[in-house]
């Protein structure tokens, strides 16, 4: 496809314009960052792997009636997406305690939560992506009360779909981060990506706390075999027969 000038470069993707103003091309990079980009590296093949995993998950989510920005993949590391204005909120859904939830609350790693926890973080690197209360979110006019409720409902539905999908892969969905955007029809679309960069994924039934990790925590915590883990997630995702 005809590639136009780059319009945005993020930590893991570059967005290009296309001939159609309503469609962007997302190029998935091998670059990896963690801890607000203080740690940087490369995960060989990550761009292709994450693009394919995200494409598969977007299809599974769309099949359940949730609108996403995904259109198709013209190449293994390129995704055509609908142009949206990203809502600057990271919506995190947690099923099992890990990461910042454990650090900030003392809840023990691996604790199964009585029900999924949906949280909002402000997508702002210079502020360190702080956790927001609902009132702060409204005070900052990041979204309206009505849209906040829609985001929570969509996040819960997406969690149900992903839990089921990953169960079929022999993978436990610990937590994940999603982003939403508004298209030109004022529709809320699931946007960005869903991949081992943005989810915690544990190999179901693996008791070893390091061996079970199939996501970016391998990079964050220098656990090694990062490429193998990402490849394993892709192979399992592609193997699902729904
Ligand atoms: N996450 C993400 N991008 C971020 C922050 C978090 O994709 O900027 C994902 C992260 O991979 C995990 C979930 O959101 O799956 C919850 O992350 P947490 O708040 O525990 O933060 P972390 O421990 O990664 O700092």
Examine the domain organization and report whether 181 and 219 are in the same domain.
Answer: yes
Examine the domain organization and report whether 98 and 175 are in the same domain.
Answer: yes
**Contact by Cβ (8 Å): 70, 195:** no
- End-to-end CA distance of the chain, in Å? 31
227: left (phi over 0), alpha (psi -120 to 50) or beta: alpha
Examine the domain organization and report whether 89 and 185 are in the same domain.
Answer: yes
Examine the domain organization and report whether 107 and 59 are in the same domain.
Answer: no
In the reported structure, the alpha carbon of residue 20 is separated from the centroid of ligand 1 by a whole-number distance in angstroms of: 33
Decide which of 59, 82, 105 is a domain's last residue: 82
List residues bridging with 75 in a β-sheet: 78
> CB of 129 closer than 6 A to ligand 1?
yes
Decide which of 22, 52, 82 is a domain's last residue: 82
> CB of 12 closer than 6 A to ligand 1?
no
Examine the domain organization and report whether 97 and 200 are in the same domain.
Answer: yes
Examine the domain organization and report whether 141 and 220 are in the same domain.
Answer: yes
Q: Residue 151's domain spans which residues?
A: 85-225
**Contact by Cβ (8 Å): 190, 69:** yes
- Please state, rounded to an integer, the average pLDDT across all residues of the chain: 97
> CB of 216 closer than 6 A to ligand 1?
yes
Average pLDDT for residues 30-44, to the nearest whole number? 96
Pick the atom of ligand 1 nearest to 36's CA. 8
Average pLDDT for residues 131-138, to the nearest whole number? 97
* Total domains in the fold of the chain: 2
Pick the atom of ligand 1 nearest to 177's CA. 14
Instruction: Write out pLDDT tens, residues 175-212.
Output: 999 999 999 999 999 999 999 999 999 999 999 999 99
In the reported structure, the alpha carbon of residue 234 is separated from the centroid of ligand 1 by a whole-number distance in angstroms of: 20
Q: What b-and-e string marks burial along 3-15, b requiring 16 or more CB atoms within 10 Å of the CB?
A: eeeeeeeeebbbe
- Identify whether 236 is part of a domain: no
CA torsion, ordered 75, 14, 93, 161, to nearest 10 deg: -20
The CATH number covering residue 210 comes to: 3.30.470.20
Give me the pLDDT at residue 3, please.
Answer: 60
Examine the domain organization and report whether 171 and 221 are in the same domain.
Answer: yes
């Amino acid at each position: 496809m005809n590639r136009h000038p780059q319009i945005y470069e993020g930590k893991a993707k570059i967005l290009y314009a296309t001939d159609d103003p309503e469609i962007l091309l997302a190029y998935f990079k091998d670059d990896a960052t963690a801890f607000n980009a203080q740690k940087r590296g490369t995960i060989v093949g990550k761009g292709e792997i994450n693009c394919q995993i995200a494409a598969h998950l977007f299809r599974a989510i769309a099949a359940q009636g949730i609108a996403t920005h995904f259109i198709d993949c013209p190449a293994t590391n390129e995704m055509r997406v609908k142009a949206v204005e990203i809502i600057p909120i990271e919506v995190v859904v947690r099923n099992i305690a890990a990461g910042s939830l454990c650090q900030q609350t003392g809840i023990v790693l691996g604790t199964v939560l009585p029900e999924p926890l949906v949280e909002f973080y402000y997508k702002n690197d210079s502020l360190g992506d702080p956790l927001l209360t609902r009132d702060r979110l409204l005070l900052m006019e990041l979204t309206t009360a009505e849209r906040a409720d829609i985001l929570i409902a969509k996040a819960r539905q997406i969690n149900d779909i992903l839990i089921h999908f990953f169960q079929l892969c022999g993978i436990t969905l610990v937590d994940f981060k999603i982003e939403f955007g508004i298209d030109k029809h004022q529709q809320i679309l699931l946007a960005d990506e869903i991949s081992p960069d943005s989810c915690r994924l544990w190999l179901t039934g693996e008791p070893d706390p390091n061996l079970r990790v199939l996501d970016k925590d391998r990079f964050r915590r220098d656990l090694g075999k990062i490429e193998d883990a990402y490849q394993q997630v892709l192979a399992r995702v592609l193997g699902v027969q729904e």
